[in-house]
Structure 1
Amino acid sequence: MSTHPWILGLTGGIGSGKSAVAQHFIDLGVHLVDADHAARWVVEPGKPALAKIAGHFGSDVLQADGQLDRTALRNRIFADADERRWLEALLHPLIGQEIIQYLARAESPYAILVSPLLVESGQHRLTQRILVVDAPEQLQVERTMVRDQSSNEQVQAILRAQASREERLRHAHDVLLNDRDLHWLQTEVERLHSYYLTLRGGQI
């Protein structure tokens, strides 16, 4: 059997239960990288990306200790699509490199890339197969409002910035509809894991 693991892309909209699914795959021994973590690594102090961001947006996107002030930056790019595109053009290639290096260290038969923006960012091109965690939109909103103590309007704004459900589902090889309890969800993850272990290169 080839020692080179194939890559499963795991995505889902905000509040879909993607994190719970990812955690259960980790518990089953699957090597997993979270694109959000990679996105944090590339903007740590001392990394070239942080200096470029500060040069472009000004020092008000930095905290007093030199770390990136994510909230300030998020407010700037949410309000201005051109600024968001500038930031994405800078960060996406760097995040991609971090992800590839991390996935290359996997020792499980397959590895997982978790990304809320798997489809939008083009990161799905790093994967051989895509699993979408799906949930009815009303459930996504309710879960997120409870988890983040955020308003309905804030959640709706995030939903609009993410790919539509239809767009995500169009890319999916597998869909896990998460509209029941955690035990059921974990059972489904175990079923998928068993199936994925039989695949070579992510395909049948």
Structure 2
Amino acid sequence: MASTRILGVTGGIGCGKSVVCAYLAQLGAEVFDADLTARSLMESDERVRQEVTRAFGRESYREDGSLNRKWLASQVFAEDSRLEELNGIVHPKVAEAFGILRNRFEGGLLVHEAALIYEAGVENRLDAVCVVTAPKELRIARVMARDRVSAEKVLARMSRQLSQEEKAGRADVVLVNDSDMAAVRSKSRRLYELAMSGEGLSFENFRFTRQL
């Protein structure tokens, strides 16, 4: 049976980590999207729904039962303690879902994509972590175009996350996404090859030594 390598991919809002993970998937990696899983659980898991409603009010869900993401964001980004409260409800279920996938994974590269790998304390469950970075101005422009929000709102979201510099300082691999799609595709391939090569990734072997 082929060996399994588990790579975390994270980065601040607007860095382009989802683009990197999409390329890794094209190359054959299995990608677990923790943020997408969290949103799915908030809609599909009855216990999570009850806890979210209890903590943040009935407005958390629309009349059709779908998650009212705009309302919930207005609540959790108002103060750090509210974001921590939501994470405390959802993260254990996300970890459980990832554990199920990891246990049935039969070899190759398994990617754990999440905005909050370090904040959630899951890095030591992974073989290594890649932090995707980009210049601040570029990140702001990307999110403004994607979410149709003001620069002020993007900056407010950034302030709720660990700084890009702190994440990069803790990373095993840093992938700089500051150019065009061809460049990030090439770097993603190099990341995939690095993850699958030789003895594989480990915190001891790769910490602070690789920048793509």
Q: TM-score, normalised by structure 1?
A: 0.91
Specify the code of the residue in structure 1 equivalent to 2:21.
A
Q: Which residue of 2 aligns with 1:64?
A: 63
How far apart in 1 are the matches of 2:44 and 2:111? Answer: 27
Q: Which residue of 2 aligns with 1:126?
A: 125
Q: Which residue of 2 aligns with 1:29?
A: 28
- After TM superposition, give the deviation of residue 146 of structure 1 in Å: 1.7
In the alignment, is the contact (CA less than 8 A) between 1:9 and 1:114 conserved in 2?
yes
From the two aligned structures, give the one with the greater helix fraction: 2
Gaps of 5+ in 1: none
Q: Which runs of 4+ in 1 moved over 4 A?
A: none
Q: Which residue of 1 aligns with 2:104?
A: 105
- After TM superposition, give the deviation of residue 91 of structure 1 in Å: 1.5
In the alignment, is the contact (CA less than 8 A) between 1:30 and 1:108 conserved in 2?
no
Q: Secondary structure at the match of 1:104?
A: helix
How far apart in 1 are the matches of 2:191 and 2:44? Answer: 39
Alignment pair present for 1:90 and 2:95: no
Aligned length: 203
Specify the code of the residue in structure 2 equivalent to 1:95.
V
Distance 1:199 1:112, change over 3 A: farther
How far apart in 2 are the matches of 1:192 and 1:25? Answer: 8
What are the residue-to-residue correspondences of 1:1-204 with 2, within 5 Å? Answer: 3=3, 5-200=4-199, 202-203=201-202, 204=205
How far apart in 1 are the matches of 2:33 and 2:125? Answer: 13
Q: TM-score, normalised by structure 2?
A: 0.88
Percent same amino acid among aligned pairs?
Answer: 32
- After TM superposition, give the deviation of residue 197 of structure 1 in Å: 1.1
In the alignment, is the contact (CA less than 8 A) between 1:29 and 1:108 conserved in 2?
no
Q: Secondary structure at the match of 2:59?
A: helix
Specify the code of the residue in structure 1 equivalent to 2:82.
E
